[in-house]
């Protein structure tokens, strides 16, 4: 969760002072390891839950402050976005019924959080990425008002030098520009922690890197962003780009993003990671520090190492080393940031059990995992898992043979995880329960991601409807299934009828209904091409844009008919082709994606037009037509419609409809 009393490192003096403290903390940590000052002989596990807040239409609800005002559990805290909530669970010794206790605490805290959220009109969703989130939800107004988040945003934006371009290719393609780090708030995870002794850290950390890919493949729950089908775990690509400060103008220079998997094996000590990250990533946040770590150590105390922890919190390794204290004793742990939130507490603890079991099992089997697989293969496996999930192929251990992910997990890794859990003293019933959930999920292929994709396909085939309506029904079904508690491999697919009822649509925005798959022309193209587009694609309006995708005009069905009638009247078939600019309406009425739906419908009525181009930051991004609104217009504007008045069948030119004469 991190410190919140921090600031951006703007002053040179403050930066130098903080960097000096950071170096002191590194030296103190190195001294503590050399002197054996860390807790050993104890293996603890823990977890951190992030989640989404939604309203009664299953859209992001920026209500975290209202929730925390009602809550009396100090574990519930803010995250980057006001529609996120987070809590840490208590660490416990690994073994016995620790997994069952983790699920009980997780479920109990989620139940309390859900009750509190519902008291202020919201609900909670466990998903790696919320399917109903829109770009307009990611405005700075929805950033949690905390100095830490504002400073982090300013620092990263300054390093980036301007808005970020996001590009993710999957079944669909995402190309979007955004001017803040708020896209980071689209990601939520279930982070697991595994305490290790300093002298075994390198061995266990390397193993954690190796098992990252299969654990992720079995747990994917983030296939959608802005309605586009991207990676099976889109969080991985999105988070990396959300806080990436690298320039594209550095030719072939190698630079790591602040979110990264790592650059190689850890050879001997956790200090290698801390020193590398400090060397690669400049200080971007500072805070007031008055602790001398060596003075604390000389007095028999344990230093907080605040500077080191703050800097470490601005570098996001997928497996991140962490320094902490339990009952006054310092410890080291590996923080697994790979796993997505959801779909249910049972699924999350099953994912954790697989990870804990594999790390423990491989540690029992291999003294040095580096001898049986290369780091580039491990990193490649991780990217493949994020892209393809259970459909990926992994290069695996001895011989580094290519193995399908689902076969590897079922045949090799689940038995290895079982051995690791049993060797750690985990209760037999818990081993069977949690690894059994993973087994059934992988056997059926129904991960959270696959359930979402299959549900969308089934709804489109059976019910049609707008994409926004299908996404709404998807989230509504997720909340229902999560409340039931059955693991995701047992979930029936979402149904269109589970979406928000029509009476809730008065708070929707244009972006919920706009079409984004556009057929456009340039103003120099021939009018005949417009006629072909209307005929071939069954559309009544064709938008005209320039090379920078700026809206410059529109050709309506009516204006095209007028042109064709005049041409036929002249009967000059040999004339040169007429360019679109001579028949288009220049500067048509347009709206932003954030405009409330009711206002858009009212505007269409006021201007007697049948469609509205949608423009964001001077670029054409979509179109809405009266056909998109016809099912809800009556409910939205009942009070303002006069009896007998109808929406016009005209275009977006603003022309009055022809008289009966």
Please give the pLDDT value at position 606. 87
Residue-wise pLDDT tens digits, 632-646? 554 444 434 443 444
Query: Which of 336-350, 476-490, 497-511 is the least confident region?
Result: 497-511
Please give the pLDDT value at position 124. 98
Please give the pLDDT value at position 601. 86
Can you tell me the mean pLDDT for 282-300?
92
Q: Is 18 exposed, middle or buried (0-12, 13-18, 19+ CB in 10 A)?
A: buried
Please give the pLDDT value at position 198. 97
Please give the pLDDT value at position 161. 78
Residue with tokens 């036929």: 568
Residue-wise pLDDT tens digits, 66-113? 999 999 999 999 999 999 999 999 999 999 999 999 999 999 999 999
Taking the C-alpha atoms of residue 538 and residue 623, their distance in angstroms, rounded to an integer, is 15
Mapping DSSP onto H, E and C, the string for 497-529 reads HHCCCHHHHHHCEHHHCCECCCCEECCCCEHHH
Can you tell me the mean pLDDT for 275-284?
91
In the predicted structure, residue 515 carries a pLDDT above the cut 90? no
Residue-wise pLDDT tens digits, 164-189? 788 999 999 999 888 888 998 999 99
H or E element that contains 417: helix 414-423
> Residue 657's pLDDT band (boundaries 50, 70, 90)?
very low
Can you tell me the mean pLDDT for 25-48?
96
> Residue 413's pLDDT band (boundaries 50, 70, 90)?
very high
In the predicted structure, residue 625 carries a pLDDT above the cut 70? yes
> Residue 598's pLDDT band (boundaries 50, 70, 90)?
confident
Q: Is 471 exposed, middle or buried (0-12, 13-18, 19+ CB in 10 A)?
A: buried
Residue with tokens 């209500």: 63
Can you tell me the mean pLDDT for 355-368?
97
Please give the pLDDT value at position 399. 77
**CA 212-217-219 angle, 5° bins:** 95
- Residue 2's region, left for phi above 0, alpha for psi from -120 to 50, else beta, is left
Hey, which of 244-253, 443-452, 601-610 has the most confident mean pLDDT?
Answer: 443-452
What single string gives the DSSP state of each residue in 246-280? --S-STT-----SEE--SS---S-THHHHHHHHHH
Please give the pLDDT value at position 647. 42
Residue-wise pLDDT tens digits, 140-150? 999 999 888 99
Can you tell me the mean pLDDT for 601-613?
88
The domains of the chain, with CATH numbers, are 7-444 (3.30.590.20), 510-636 (3.10.580.10)
Residue 346: how many CB atoms within 10 A of its CB? 19
Average pLDDT, the chain: 89
* Position with higher pLDDT, 368 vs 598: 368
Please give the pLDDT value at position 46. 97
Please give the pLDDT value at position 627. 75
Query: Which of 365-379, 382-396, 615-629 is the least confident region?
Result: 615-629
> Residue 15's pLDDT band (boundaries 50, 70, 90)?
confident
CA-to-CA dists, residue 38 to 43, 44, 197, 199, 326, angstroms: 13, 14, 7, 10, 11
Can you tell me the mean pLDDT for 564-577?
67
Residue-wise pLDDT tens digits, 311-330? 999 999 999 999 999 999 99
Please give the pLDDT value at position 7. 55
Q: What percent of the chain has pLDDT over 70?
A: 89
Give 3-state DSSP helix, strand, coil % of the chain, rounded to 5.
45, 20, 35
Please give the pLDDT value at position 14. 84
What single string gives the DSSP state of each residue in 57-75? TSSB---HHHHHHH---TT
> Residue 568's pLDDT band (boundaries 50, 70, 90)?
low
Residue-wise pLDDT tens digits, 241-259? 877 766 555 444 455 678 8
> Residue 199's pLDDT band (boundaries 50, 70, 90)?
very high
Please give the pLDDT value at position 466. 81
Please give the pLDDT value at position 6. 58
Can you tell me the mean pLDDT for 429-448?
98
């Amino acid at each position: 969760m991190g410190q919140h009393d921090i600031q951006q490192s703007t002053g040179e003096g403050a930066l130098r002072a903080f960097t000096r403290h950071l170096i002191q903390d590194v030296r103190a940590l190195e001294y503590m390891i050399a002197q054996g000052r860390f807790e050993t002989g104890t293996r603890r596990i823990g977890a951190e839950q992030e989640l989404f807040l939604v309203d009664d239409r299953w859209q992001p609800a920026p209500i975290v402050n209202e929730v925390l005002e009602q809550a009396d559990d100090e574990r519930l805290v803010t995250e980057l976005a006001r529609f996120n909530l987070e809590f840490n669970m208590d660490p416990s010794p690994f073994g016995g019924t620790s997994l069952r206790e983790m699920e009980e605490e997780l479920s109990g805290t989620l139940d309390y959080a859900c009750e509190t959220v519902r008291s202020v009109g919201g609900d909670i969703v466990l998903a790696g990425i919320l399917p109903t989130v829109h770009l307009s939800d990611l405005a700075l107004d929805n950033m949690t008002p905390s100095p830490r988040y504002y400073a982090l945003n300013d620092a990263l934006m300054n390093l980036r030098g301007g808005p970020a371009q996001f590009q993710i290719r999957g079944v669909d393609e995402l190309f979007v520009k955004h001017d803040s780090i708020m896209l980071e708030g689209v990601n939520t995870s279930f982070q697991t922690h595994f305490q290790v002794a300093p002298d075994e850290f390198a061995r266990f950390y390397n193993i954690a890197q190796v098992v990252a890919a299969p654990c992720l493949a079995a747990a994917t729950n983030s296939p959608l962003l802005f309605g586009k089908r991207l990676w099976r775990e889109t969080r991985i690509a999105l988070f990396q780009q959300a806080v990436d400060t690298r320039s594209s103008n550095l030719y072939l220079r190698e630079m790591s993003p602040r979110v990264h998997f790592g650059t190689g094996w850890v050879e001997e000590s956790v200090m290698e990671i801390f020193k590398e990250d400090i060397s690669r990533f400049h200080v971007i946040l500072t805070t007031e520090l008055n602790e001398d770590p060596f003075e604390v150590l000389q007095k028999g105390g344990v230093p907080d190492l605040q500077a080191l922890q703050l800097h470490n919190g601005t570098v996001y390794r997928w497996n991140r080393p962490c320094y902490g204290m339990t009952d006054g004793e310092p410890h080291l742990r590996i923080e697994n940031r790979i796993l997505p939130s959801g779909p249910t507490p049972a699924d999350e603890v099953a994912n954790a059990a697989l990870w804990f079991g594999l790390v423990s099992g491989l540690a029992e089997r291999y003294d040095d995992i580096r001898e049986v697989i290369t780091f580039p293969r491990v990193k490649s496996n991780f990217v493949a898992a994020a892209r393809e999930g259970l459909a990926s192929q992994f290069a695996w251990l001895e011989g580094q043979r290519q193995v399908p992910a689902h076969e590897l997990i079922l045949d090799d890794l689940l038995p290895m995880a079982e051995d690791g859990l049993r060797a750690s003293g985990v209760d037999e019933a818990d081993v069977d329960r949690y690894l059994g959930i993973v087994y059934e999920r992988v056997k059926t292929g129904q991960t959270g991601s696959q359930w979402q994709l299959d549900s969308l396909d089934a709804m489109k085939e059976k019910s049609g409807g707008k994409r926004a309506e299908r996404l709404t029904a998807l989230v509504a079904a997720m909340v229902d299934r999560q409340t039931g508690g059955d693991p995701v491999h047992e979930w029936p697919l979402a149904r269109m009828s589970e979406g928000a009822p029509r009476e809730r649509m008065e708070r929707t925005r244009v972006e919920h209904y706009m079409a984004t798959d556009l057929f456009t022309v340039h103003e120099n193209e021939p009018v005949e091409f417009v006629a072909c587009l209307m005929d071939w694609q069954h559309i009544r309006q064709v938008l005209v844009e320039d090379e920078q995708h700026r809206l410059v005009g529109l050709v309506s069905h009516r204006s095209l008919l007028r042109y064709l009638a005049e041409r036929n009247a002249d009967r000059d078939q040999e004339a040169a082709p007429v360019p679109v600019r001579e028949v288009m309406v220049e500067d048509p009425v347009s709206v932003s994606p954030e405009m409330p739906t009711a206002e858009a419908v009212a505007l269409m009525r006021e201007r007697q037009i049948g469609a509205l181009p949608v423009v964001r930051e001077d670029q054409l991004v979509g179109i809405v037509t009266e056909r998109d609104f016809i099912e809800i217009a009556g409910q939205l504007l009942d009070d303002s419609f006069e009896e007998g008045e109808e929406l016009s069948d005209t275009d977006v030119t603003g022309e009055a409809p022809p008289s009966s004469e």
